[in-house]
Amino acid sequence: MLTISWPEMNRRDFLDKGLKALLAIGVLDINQRDELVIGHGDFRYTIDVNWGALNPEFFPVQDCHEMVFDRLGRLILLTNHTRNNVLIYDRSGKLLDHWGTTYPGAHGLTLKDEGGEEFLYLTDTVRHEVIKTTLDGREVMTLPYPRAMEAYSSANTYLPTETAIADNGDIYVADGYGMQYILQYNSRGELLRYFGGRGEGDGQFLNAHGICIDNRSGREELLITARQMNALKRFSMDGKHQQTIPLPGCYICRPVVHTDSVYLATIWSGNGSARTGFLSILDRSNHLVSAPGGATPRYEEGSLRKMYQAIQVFQHPHDVCVDADENLYVAQWNAGGTYPLKLNRV
Amino acid sequence: MMRYHRQRNAVIICCLLVTSLGMVSGQGSPRFQMSEPQVRLDSFFFFNSAAIALAMDFPGATVRYSLENEEVTAQSDEYVSPIQLTHSDTLVARAFHPDLTPSSPLRVSAYKIHPTTQVATVRTFPSPSSQYAGAGVSVLTDHQKGELNFASDTEQWLGWEVDTLRLSLAWAKPTGIRAISCSFLQNHGAWIFPPQRIVVRHHGESVGEATIEVPKQEAPTAFRLVHIKIDEKVYANLEVELLSVRLPSWHQGAGRSAWIFMDELLTFETQN
């Protein structure tokens, strides 16, 4: 490796005059220090691909599925690698802690402050369960598959992908890889109701992958992704369909509400091919205003034009986490065992 | 929009690494790659002409293309408006940007078919899944392709989640047949793979077979057209057996049967 510094030479001149010969022979290239900025409008970011990198011999990941921040500002990452299902970082990307060896299908991760103590809710698509733990990994409750429901003939038909926890403690489970129901439990784990189910109706889902509580209107509502339908659906807390927000070309994983915006890792785009993901950011009116890594969002006669990837920044973004400075952390599914990357807001 | 932030640091020259993130990285900021252009083909099968539209809505990007499956370079024709095809052809397109690595080539083929091709009556065993029954089994012989995004096209695609699918073909009068083409969808994320094997039988005897390689993990969502030559004879009926793929180990549904999605079945008459 050859390092050259040129404190007094203009970089472009240097490129133009000094390196053309090297470039011409095709064995060396200049890696520009200029940083790419992606996104649109007020939501633009530089990219730190190395933010969460660790030594995979000691702390391997398989799919990095979801992330949450705790109140100490620690970023908690869930992976389905059973050497360490949970990795806990500080905001600089330093590993602080790790735990978990019994969640082979670790997928959904939600954090809830319950009377001053924070708890995690994990979904596991291999164990066919939802597991509630303390932040250091002690299991305090398990929700098995809903055998009382006629729709579920066996545990194998229940593949929960995400949870959302209401302020009253009710637990909403999205069976996004299973029968497409949203199951509402009380805080003791008793099934109260279910809604949704597989189908193309307003209140139904194809791949009800992610769910969250949306407080932006001043009251609690549910936002649920219908990933294969390229749509975000809004429901009342008792399961009544309120609105469908079409996002053509956007295969959205889970909604993350932060201040007035909704952030959605978009695992595929366009025709749904592999490695076509980007991020989707909606404003208070649920309009797509920025698509880091994607084409320019454009509305024509009130409808979003079909979205697609423009730059290959991401492989399969599966979740996005927002810090207090509105930087983004992106976990990826099926990305060669790579760690979360960070987008710094500019 | 996109721009580069300037940093006046030392330049580091090093050998390049091509990473799986679709970027070329040295030490310092990586250089990212453009994505493939978007394509819209108005008719995969056509009698007279087909139009191909391309797009890449990204500041500073251009799309260049070639026909007859030729490679695309920075000197190839720049796309400005839809391209009309009047014969079967393969278009290749790439997106270019001065600050980014050009995209991989996108290939799209359209097939001119003879308007006198006899249409068989098709029945399927079992029937398509109730969720993906399209506009009925007749869509298999209407010469209309479905959209790549099957969820936005509820008419043209038929879907089955089975180990074995059987199609029964019958002609109003015995017809000389030399080949069959089946059009499938490949979409890993939706658990849709082309079948791994197709056998065409007449009265139980095999008259044509095809084995389809299981798509690799990185294979894009795509149409898959499988052409099967069969013993050239006059047939009043044929049976087509399709064996579905077991989802491979890298797939999130590993071990389960993949869905088969089919939108067209063409039969080709014996040429006299």
* Residues near A141 by beta carbon (within 8 Å), at least 6 away in sequence: A131, A132, A189
**Does A168 map to a domain?**
yes
Instruction: Scan for tokens 């040295």, then name that residue.
Output: B26
Q: How confident is the model over B117-154, as pLDDT tens digits?
A: 668 899 999 999 998 999 999 999 888 888 777 877 77
CB proximity list for B226: less than 8 A, separation 6 or greater: B181, B182, B183, B184, B194, B198, B210, B212
CA distance A123 to A65: 11
Task: Tell me the pLDDT tens digit for each residue of A30-83.
Answer: 234 468 899 999 999 999 999 999 999 999 999 999 999 999 999 999 999 999
Q: Please give the C-alpha separations between residue A37 and each of A43, A311, A322, A341, B99, in angstroms, as whole numbers.
A: 10, 11, 18, 14, 12
> Are A320 and A75 within 8 A, CB to CB?
no
Q: Which residue of B has its CA nearest to A274?
A: B220
Q: What are phi and psi of B151, to 5 degrees?
A: -70, -20
Q: Which residue has the tokens 């996005």?
A: A320
SS3 A157: helix
Residues 33-52 of A with CB under 8 A from B: 33-40, 44, 46-47, 49
Q: How far apart are CA A149 and CA A153, in angstroms?
A: 8
Strand order across the beta sheet in which B11-14 lies: A2-4, B11-14, A29-30
Q: Is A141 exposed, middle or buried (0-12, 13-18, 19+ CB in 10 A)?
A: middle
| C-alpha B245, offset from chain centre | 17
- Calculate the dihedral angle through the C-alpha atoms of A28, A34, A37, A42, rounding to the nearest 10 degrees: 180
pLDDT at B116 (0 to 100): 57
Q: What is the 8-class DSSP label of residue B140?
A: G
Number of separate domains in chain A = 1
Interchain CB distance below 8 Å, B58 and A267: no
Q: Which is nearest to B107 in space by CA: B130, B86, B90, B121?
A: B90
Task: Tell me the C-alpha to C-alpha distance, in Å, between residue B23 and each of A163, B52, B101, B104.
Answer: 34, 29, 8, 12
Which residues between 38 and 97 in chain B have a beta carbon less than 8 angstroms from any beta carbon of chain A?
38, 56-59, 61
CB contact under 8 A, B11 and A346: no
Q: Is residue A1 part of a domain?
A: no
Q: Do B189 and A268 touch (CB under 8 A)?
A: yes
- A299: domain range? 9-345
Taking the CA atoms of residue A77, residue B254, residue A179 and residue A128 in that order, the dihedral angle to the nearest 10 degrees is -50
Which CATH number belongs to the domain containing residue A236 in this structure? Answer: 2.120.10.30
**Is A2 domain-assigned?**
no
Interface contact B100, partner A, CB < 8 A: yes
- DSSP SS3 for A10: coil
Closest chain B residue to A15 measured between Cα atoms?
Answer: B11
pLDDT tens, N- to C-terminus, chain B (272 residues): 344 443 333 222 222 233 334 444 434 445 799 999 999 888 788 888 899 999 999 999 999 999 999 999 999 999 999 999 999 999 999 999 998 999 999 999 898 887 556 688 999 999 999 989 999 999 998 888 887 778 777 789 999 999 999 999 999 889 999 999 999 999 988 899 999 999 999 999 999 999 999 998 888 888 898 999 999 999 999 999 999 999 999 887 888 899 999 999 988 888 76
Question: Within 10 Å of residue A334's Cβ, how many Cβ atoms?
Answer: 22
Compute the distance between CA of residue A112 and CA of residue A120 in angstroms, rounded to an integer.
7
Partners of B148 on chain A (C-beta within 8 Å) are 271-272
Gap between the Cα atoms of A74 and A70, Å rounded = 6
Q: What is the CATH number of domain B2-112?
A: 2.60.40
The CA-atom distances, in angstroms, between B49 and each of A74, A223, B41, B83 are: 59, 45, 11, 10
Confidence (pLDDT) at B14: 28
Which pLDDT belongs to residue A18? 34
CATH class of the structural domain B121-269: mainly beta
What is the pTM (predicted TM-score) of this model? Answer: 0.77
What DSSP letter does each residue of B170-188 carry, written as one string? EEEEEEEEEEEEEEEEEBG
Q: Using alpha carbons, select from A275, A252, A286, A272 the residue that is nearest to residue A176.
A: A252
In a domain, A88, yes or no: yes
φ, ψ of residue A281 to 5 degrees: the values are: -125, 120
CB B182 within 8 A of CB B223: no
Reduced to 3 states, what is the DSSP secondary structure of residue A303?
strand
Identify how many contiguous H helices and E strands chain B contains and give both numbers: 0, 20
**Where in chain B do CATH 2.60.120.1190 domains reside?**
121-269
Select the residue from B23, B29, B155, B247 to test the A interface by mutation, using most A Cβ atoms within 10 A: B29
Cβ of A31 and B149 within 8 Å? no
Domain with CATH 2.60.40 in chain B: 2-112
Residue A22 three-state SS: helix
Question: Model confidence over A123-156: pLDDT tens digits?
Answer: 999 999 999 999 999 999 999 999 999 999 899 9
Interface probe, candidates B34, B54, B57, B108, chain A, greatest A C-beta count within 10 A: B57
DSSP characters for B144-161? -PPPSSGGG-TTT-EEE-
Where residue B138 falls (left for φ over 0; alpha for ψ -120 to 50; beta otherwise) is: alpha
ipTM of the complex: 0.82
Q: How big is the A-B interface in CB pairs under 8 Å?
A: 177
Whether residues B33 and A40 touch (CB distance < 8 A) is answered with no
Q: Whole-angstrom Cα distance, residue B54 to residue B63?
A: 8
**Cα gap A210→A254, rounded to integer Å:** 4
Minimal CA separation from A40 to chain B, in Å: 5
